[in-house]
Structure formats: structure tokens, C-alpha cells
């Protein structure tokens, strides 16, 4: 059913990604591929993986952006993981002609039933964020599942019941939780750090939030550029060192 | 957007087929064309051929064409689904009307009414097709108020030129109506296309790399490292760039062959009369096909998807 949930629950599971912390290591993207290639939307097919033009399905892509303020003479480099935002008003769901795309009533996760998807690609055209990738080999669309097969998995220890990208992030840049509950840890984090949604003007009402990089520290705290005791000449050195220096400069 | 041949054929051919069907209904029901059997066979044959081959071609770009029937289920939310349902429903009245004309030799009265109902269904189907594209906010060039009007007028225009050519070749009925309709519709469709391009030129992009990343407050944003070296699905499907380099040339080409040349040729028919009518109308048709296919190619190829903002494209 590609109508959006008529009686959505208050629970809105999603991710909060801290752009101040992310170091752009791609570990989240790799572990996402690792988990999901045998998960609900398996496989995440690769085409020509060892050839000249390798391609394949990934649910998470890490870009690096530069923001330049010419007037202030400042610039910032920001690593930016991009994946499905599990939008409240998901246009990818309502365009789907078959009912393969749907948004879950109970937690708002947006999924695809690949058994009935016809591979018309319309949902990938409707998503502004490039979150859906087509599996050429299977002829169906695939997307981030928010690790629905991990977060509720009772065979795993409770601390592992978070999406693969969250459990793997070495710097702790990714948080997972209920963004529909204003008292949850993730909601508090978003409030404290002024987390924001991507392309709000598209009207998709994303659930995921991004935390902006913190202001740069400029002034006394800047590290010195040169060390004071740096000495280019060999004059201050001992006899043996001067002798070696002479031989080597011949 | 990647201009898939199957979708270009689907939209142009089925548009022309539905347009021809509308004119067969109007001309028959209002008595401008008698229910001549050979004319009916050729006219409906051509219209159904264009419609059916177009619809089949649209299933050609599916990853799982054998599941295509499932696309009829979500008409409550999906324009693609609505289009499929409308296309199938339209076969009812248009099929009955064709039988009435060809088998019973009637195209006015009750049969004509069925034809008009069919014509309305055809127009609704074309409108639904256009809404598949016009409803996609992530592709600003399509979610444009001229998109649907353009699709409807270009379908009616192709249909009018087609019926003019058929009438001229077969010498059936009064071709003045088709001639006047062609002139008016070619001019209107060309005008709407110009307005469409004008609105693309003048519209400020709503989404930017700054809004896509939320980093605008730190300055001007651009990607410095791509997540992948080779093009992925997103860039192959939505990062199509060739058209943007040649846009101006292609637009002039589409405008000339799709609208200006056919308009001039059709207008000349009334001045020069029968001996030239055949060659003029057929040339107008050929020029129109070349022009409209270019126009449709541009419609897809020129459209920029907002996901390209993440990739500096
Ligand atoms: S990010 Fe894209 S795929 Fe995910 S819910 Fe939003 S529109 Fe759909
Ligand atoms: S590709 Fe599959 S999931 Fe996407 S709109 Fe088409 S049928 Fe639905
Ligand atoms: S694993 Fe963490 S630090 Fe590495 S790219 Fe992903 S979010 Fe950034």
C-alpha cells in the first residue's frame, strides 16, 4: 500500500549524524554494505567489481564538501554521509505504482518489498536525496532499511540492536533513536546542537537530522606554525656531527 | 535525466495515438467524416497501433516487466498507476466506437456519443501520463505548470496532423476542419513549449547545494571528494549532462522542425490546393515527428534532478 500511514504511531526511528565529529572514514558505508548484503534487501549486487568501471548498490555514501566564505577568508571541510532520511512525507512511497514501497505504521521506517517491485525506478526519481539505488542484476529497487533486521533482532545482545552504521562508527558521529519522542536522547541532542533537516523546501519532512560543525576556534588557541628552536645551520652541532655533515655534503 | 528511448517512444507515440483517437471521435460524431469502412480500418488501426506499441514500450524499461500488472493497484496515490488504469479503461469506449464505425458503419448519434466518451478518456490518460512527470518535485523542470498543458496540446496536435494526412491520402470527408485544427494546435503547442522554456530560464532554483547539505551558513558549498570514482546508478540515471551543453541548438532544432516548419507547410495547403496537399501534409508530418522526438528527448535530457547538487553536476 503506497498511501502514507493513515494512523502513524508517534515513534519515528531515525539517525542523527554529527558533521562536527565525522572524519569521513567510510566505515559506516562499508559496514552497511556488509550487514545488508545478507539482510532484508539482500543482495547488494556489485556489477563489474574488479573491472574498469565498478558499480554496485550502496545504501550509504560519504561525500566531502568544502564551504568557502570568501568575504571572511574562511573555509571548512565537512565529511557528509548521505543515506535515506525515512521522510514523514515520503514522495518515494506515494509515487510507487505497485505498493512495493511503503512506510511502516509502527516506527516510520520506509521499506521496499522487492518481491513485488517492478523496477520502474519512479521512486528513485521522486527521492530528492538519492537514497534509492537500483539493482541492475535483480531488476528491482533497493534502499536503506534502517537495519530493521538488526534493531529488533532478539538474537543479538541489546547493545548491538542499532543500525550497522551506528555500531561501527569509530568516532561516535552517528546516533540512533526515536525522533518522535521529544525526551529521547537523540531528540535532546538535536535540540542542544540545533540539528537540521536536509532540503526542507522539498516538503518531504525528513526524520533524520544532521548536527552542524561547531564554530571554529580562532585566536590564542591556534597552534604555532614554526617551532622556536628550529635551527637550519650545522654550526651549533658537535665535532662528530659536523664531520659527518661535511662528508655527506661533498 | 537519462533520456530512455523506450520512454521517449512511449510518450510521443501514445500521445499521437490518443490525439488521433480524439480527432476520429470528434470528426465522426460531428459529421465531418462519414463512417467510411476503409478509412475507419486505417484510422483506428493506426491509432491503436500507436497507443498499444507506446504502452508496451513503456514496460520495456521495467526491471521486471512480467510483474507489470501490479502497477495497476495503487491508483489512490500514484500517477503512474492512474495512468495505467485510465489507459485500460479507455480501450472500452474507443474499442466500441471503432466497432460501431467499422462494423455497423455508424459514427454519429449514440455511437458518436460513445466516441466522445472515449475521446475524454484518451485526454484523461494523456493528462495522467503528464502528471507522472509533473508531480516530481525533485525535478524542477518537470514540476512546472506548463508540463501537462504541453503534453495535452502536443498529443492533440500530432493527432490533428495525422488525421489531416489520412484524409488527404484517402480523400475522405472535408479536410478543412483538420487543416484549421492543425494550424491552431501547432501554433498553441509551440507557444506553450516556448513558455515552458521561458519559465525554466527564469525560475530561481529552490534547492541548492547549500540547502542540500545545510552548510550554507559556512559559505559557498561544493563537493571536493566524491563517495565513488565511477558513476553509480544515481549519476547514470540522473546526472545526464550531454544535453545541457547543446541545449540552445537542440531547442532551435525542435522548435523549427516540430512547430514552425509544419505550421508553414500546413498553412500552404489551403493556398496551393489539392495537387500539393499530399506532399505538403506528409512533409509536415515527417518534420513534426523529427521535431517532437527531439523535444521529448530534450524534456528528459535537459531536466536536472536535485540529487545532482550533492555531486557538483
Ligand atoms: S530519503 Fe528518499 S528514499 Fe528515504 S524516505 Fe525520503 S524520499 Fe524516500
Ligand atoms: S521501482 Fe519498485 S519500489 Fe520503486 S516505484 Fe517502481 S515498483 Fe515501486
Ligand atoms: S563511520 Fe562515522 S566517522 Fe566514518 S564516515 Fe561514517 S559517520 Fe563519518
Q: Taking 90 as the threshold, does the pLDDT of residue A231 lie above it?
A: no
The confidence band for A33, taking pLDDT boundaries of 50, 70 and 90, is very high
Distances (CA, A) of A99 to B74, B190, B214, B304: 6, 38, 32, 27
Q: Do B71 and A54 touch (CB under 8 A)?
A: no
Q: How far off is chain A from B178, nearest CA to CA, in Å?
A: 37
Q: Is the minimum distance from the CB of A110 to ligand 2 under 6 angstroms?
A: no
CB atoms within 10 A of CB A229: 5
Q: What average pLDDT does the segment A72-85 reach?
A: 95
- The predicted pLDDT at position A237 comes to 66
The answer to whether residue A119 scores a pLDDT higher than 90 is: yes
Strands (E), A101-156: 101-103, 110-112, 132-135, 140-143
Instruction: Give the 3-state secondary structure percentages of chain B, helix then strand then coil, rounded to 5.
Output: 75, 0, 20
Query: How many CB atoms within 10 Å of residue A171?
Result: 14
Distance of CA B110 to the CA centre of its chain: 30
Distance CA A122, CA B71 (A): 11
Average pLDDT, chain A: 92
d(CA B298, CA B196): 12
Mean pLDDT, to the nearest integer, of A48-55?
94
Ligand 3 contacts CB of residue A15 (under 6 A): no
Mean pLDDT, residues B124-140: 97
What confidence score (pLDDT) does residue A234 get?
Answer: 53
Tell me, what's the pLDDT at A219?
A: 62
pLDDT score recorded for residue A221: 59
Round to whole Å and give the CA distance between B308 and A127: 12
CB contact under 8 A, B215 and A82: no
Per-residue pLDDT at A250:
67
Shortest distance between the Cα of A162 and any Cα of chain B, in A, equals 24
Confidence of residue A171 (pLDDT cuts 50, 70, 90): very high
Indicate the pLDDT class of residue B13, thresholds 50, 70 and 90. Answer: very high
| Vertex A82 angle, CA A150 and B216, to 5° | 145
Which band of pLDDT confidence, cut at 50, 70 and 90, is reported for residue B245?
Answer: confident
Per the CB < 8 A criterion, the answer to whether B277 and B168 are in contact is yes
pLDDT at B242 over 90: no
- Best residue among A119, A134, A136 to mutate for probing ligand 2's pocket (most ligand atoms within 8 Å of CB) is A119
C-alpha cell at A161: 540492536
- Predicted-complex ipTM score: 0.94
Residue of A nearest to B311 (CA): A63
Considering only residues B174 and B54, tell me which one the structure prediction assigns the higher pLDDT: B54
- Percent of chain A past pLDDT 90, that is, above it, reads 81
- The cell for B172 is 475522405
Instruction: Tell me if A143 CB under 6 Å of ligand 1.
Output: yes
pLDDT in tens, B183-197: 999 999 999 999 999
**Cross-strand partners of A141:** A134
The pTM for the full model equals 0.92
What residues are paired with A161 via a beta bridge?
Answer: none
Contact A55, B232 (CB under 8 A): yes
Q: Which residues contact B74 (CB under 8 A, 6 or more apart)?
A: A1, A2, A96, A97, A98, A99, B81
Distances (CA, A) of A47 to A54, B179, B232, B311: 6, 53, 10, 21
Q: How many CA atoms lie within 13 Å of A132's alpha carbon, on the beta-carbon side?
A: 29
Coil/strand/helix, residue B139: coil
The phi, psi pair for A201, rounded to 5°, reads: -65, -15
Structural domains of chain A, ranges and CATH numbers in brackets: 13-211 (3.30.70.20)
Of A44-48, A229-233, B50-54, B151-155, give the lowest mean pLDDT range. A229-233
**DSSP tag of A224:** P
What integer pLDDT is reported at residue B274 of this predicted model?
72
Alpha-helix runs per DSSP H in A8-163: 27-36, 91-94, 122-126, 148-151
pLDDT average, residue stretch A13-28: 98
Q: Judge if the beta carbon of residue A62 lies within 6 A of ligand 3.
A: yes
pLDDT digits (tens, 9 = 90+) for A176-194: 999 999 999 999 999 999 9
B54 pLDDT band (50/70/90 cuts)? very high
What pLDDT digit, counting tens, does each position of B76-113 carry?
999 999 999 999 999 999 999 999 999 999 999 999 99
Q: How far apart are CA A20 and CA A9, in angstroms?
A: 31
| Angstrom distances, CA of residue B264 to CA of A61, A182, B145, B169, B286 | 53, 66, 28, 19, 13
Nearest CA to ligand 3 atom 3: A22
As a whole number, mean pLDDT of residues A143-168 equals 97
User: B130: pLDDT confidence band, cut at 50, 70 and 90?
Assistant: very high
- Is B233's CB within 8 Å of A74's CB? no
Collapsing DSSP to helix, strand or coil, B142 comes out as coil
- For B:113-142, CB contacts with A below 8 A are 132, 135-139
Q: How confident is the model at residue A217 (pLDDT cuts 50, 70, 90)?
A: confident
Q: What is the average pLDDT across A69-88?
A: 95
The CA distance from B18 to B83, in Å, is 13
Q: What is the DSSP string of B88-119?
A: HHHHHHHHHHHHHHHTS---SHHHHHHHHHHH
pLDDT of residue B45 exceeding 60, the answer is yes
Residue B147 contacts residue B27 (beta carbons within 8 Å): no
Position B50 scores a pLDDT of: 98
Selected residue with higher pLDDT from B313 and A165: A165
Say if residue A147's pLDDT is above 60: yes
- Return the higher-pLDDT residue of A151 and A217: A151
Q: Which residues in chain A have their CB less than 8 angstroms from residue B217's CB?
A: 212
Q: Which atom of ligand 1 is nearest to the CA of A208?
A: 1
A169 lines ligand 3 (CB under 6 A): yes
Judged by CB atoms closer than 8 Å, whether chains meet at A202 and B214 is answered as no
Give residue A241's pLDDT band: very low, low, confident or very high (50, 70, 90).
Answer: confident
Q: Any chain A CB within 8 A of the CB of B233?
A: yes
Give CA–CA dist A215/A88, Å, rounded.
30
B231 touches chain A (CB under 8 A): yes
Q: Distance between CA A1 and CA A93 in Å, rounded?
A: 9
Is the pLDDT score of A30 beyond 60? yes
pLDDT given for residue A7 in this prediction = 84
- What is the structure's pLDDT at A249? 78
Looking at the DSSP assignment, which residues form a beta bridge with residue A61? A82
H/E stretch holding A209 reads: strand A209-211
Distance from B291 to chain A by nearest Cα, in Å?
26
Between the alpha carbon of residue A177 and those of residues A15, A161, A162, A181, the distances in Å are 7, 11, 9, 9
Average pLDDT over residues A55-60: 97
Domains of chain B listed by start with CATH number: 5-311 (1.20.1630.10)
- pLDDT class for A10, splitting at 50, 70, 90? very high
A120 lines ligand 2 (CB under 6 A): yes
Amino acid at each position: 500500500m503506497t498511501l502514507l500511514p493513515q494512523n502513524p504511531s508517534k515513534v519515528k526511528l531515525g539517525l542523527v549524524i554529527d558533521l562536527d565529529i565525522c572524519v569521513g572514514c567510510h566505515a559506516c558505508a562499508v559496514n552497511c554494505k556488509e550487514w545488508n548484503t545478507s539482510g532484508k534487501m539482500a543482495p547488494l549486487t556489485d556489477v563489474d567489481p574488479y573491472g574498469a568501471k565498478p558499480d554496485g548498490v550502496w545504501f550509504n555514501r560519504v561525500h566531502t564538501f568544502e564551504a568557502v566564505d570568501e568575504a571572511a577568508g574562511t573555509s571548512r571541510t565537512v565529511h557528509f554521509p548521505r543515506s535515506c532520511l525515512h521522510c514523514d512525507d515520503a514522495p518515494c512511497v506515494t509515487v510507487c505504482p505497485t505498493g512495493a514501497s511503503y512506510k511502516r505504521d509502527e516506527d516510520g521506517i520506509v521499506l521496499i518489498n522487492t518481491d513485488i517491485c517492478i523496477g520502474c525506478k519512479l521512486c528513485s526519481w521522486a527521492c530528492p536525496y538519492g537514497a534509492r539505488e537500483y539493482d541492475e542484476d535483480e531488476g528491482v529497487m533497493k534502499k536503506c532499511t534502517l537495519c530493521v533486521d538488526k534493531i529488533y533482532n532478539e538474537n543479538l545482545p541489546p547493545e548491538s540492536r542499532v543500525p550497522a552504521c551506528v555500531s561501527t562508527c569509530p568516532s561516535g558521529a552517528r546516533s540512533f533513536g526515536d525522533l518522535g519522542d521529544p525526551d529521547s536522547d537523540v531528540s535532546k541532542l538535536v535540540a542542544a546542537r540545533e540539528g537540521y533537516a536536509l532540503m526542507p523546501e522539498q516538503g518531504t519532512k525528513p526524520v533524520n537530522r544532521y548536527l552542524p560543525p561547531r564554530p571554529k576556534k580562532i585566536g590564542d588557541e591556534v597552534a604555532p606554525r614554526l617551532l622556536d628552536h628550529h635551527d637550519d645551520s650545522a654550526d651549533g652541532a658537535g665535532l662528530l656531527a659536523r664531520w659527518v655533515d661535511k662528508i655527506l655534503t661533498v | 535525466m537519462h533520456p530512455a528511448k523506450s520512454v521517449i517512444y512511449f510518450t510521443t507515440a501514445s500521445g499521437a495515438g490518443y490525439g488521433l483517437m480524439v480527432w476520429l471521435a470528434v470528426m465522426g460524431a460531428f459529421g465531418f467524416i462519414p463512417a467510411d469502412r476503409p478509412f475507419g480500418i486505417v484510422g483506428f488501426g493506426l491509432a491503436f497501433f500507436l497507443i498499444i506499441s507506446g504502452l508496451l514500450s513503456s514496460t520495456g524499461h521495467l526491471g521486471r516487466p512480467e510483474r507489470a500488472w501490479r502497477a495497476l493497484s495503487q491508483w489512490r496515490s500514484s500517477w503512474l498507476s492512474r495512468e495505467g488504469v485510465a489507459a485500460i479503461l479507455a480501450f472500452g469506449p474507443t474499442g466500441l466506437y471503432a466497432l460501431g464505425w467499422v462494423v455497423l458503419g455508424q459514427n454519429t448519434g449514440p455511437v458518436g456519443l460513445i466516441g466522445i466518451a472515449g475521446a475524454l478518456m484518451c485526454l484523461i490518460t494523456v493528462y495522467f501520463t503528464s502528471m507522472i512527470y509533473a508531480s516530481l518535485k525533485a525535478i524542477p523542470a518537470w514540476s512546472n505548470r506548463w508540463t501537462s498543458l504541453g503534453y495535452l496540446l502536443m498529443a492533440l496536435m500530432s493527432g490533428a496532423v495525422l488525421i489531416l494526412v489520412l484524409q488527404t491520402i484517402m480523400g475522405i470527408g472535408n479536410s478543412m476542419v483538420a487543416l484549421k485544427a492543425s494550424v491552431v494546435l501547432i501554433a498553441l503547442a509551440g507557444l506553450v513549449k516556448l513558455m515552458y522554456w521561458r519559465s525554466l530560464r527564469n525560475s530561481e532554483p529552490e534547492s541548492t547545494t547549500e540547502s542540500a547539505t545545510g552548510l550554507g551558513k559556512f559559505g559557498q558549498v561544493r563537493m571536493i571528494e566524491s563517495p565513488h570514482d565511477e558513476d553509480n546508478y544515481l549519476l547514470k540515471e540522473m546526472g545526464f549532462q550531454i544535453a545541457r551543453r547543446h541545449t540552445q541548438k537542440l531547442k532551435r532544432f525542435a522548435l523549427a522542425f516540430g512547430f514552425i516548419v509544419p505550421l508553414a507547410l500546413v498553412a500552404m495547403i489551403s493556398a496551393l490546393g489539392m495537387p500539393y496537399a499530399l506532399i505538403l501534409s506528409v512533409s509536415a508530418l515527417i518534420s513534426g515527428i523529427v521535431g517532437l522526438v527531439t523535444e521529448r528527448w530534450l524534456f528528459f535530457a535537459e531536466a536536472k534532478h536535485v540529487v545532482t547538487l550533492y555531486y557538483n553536476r
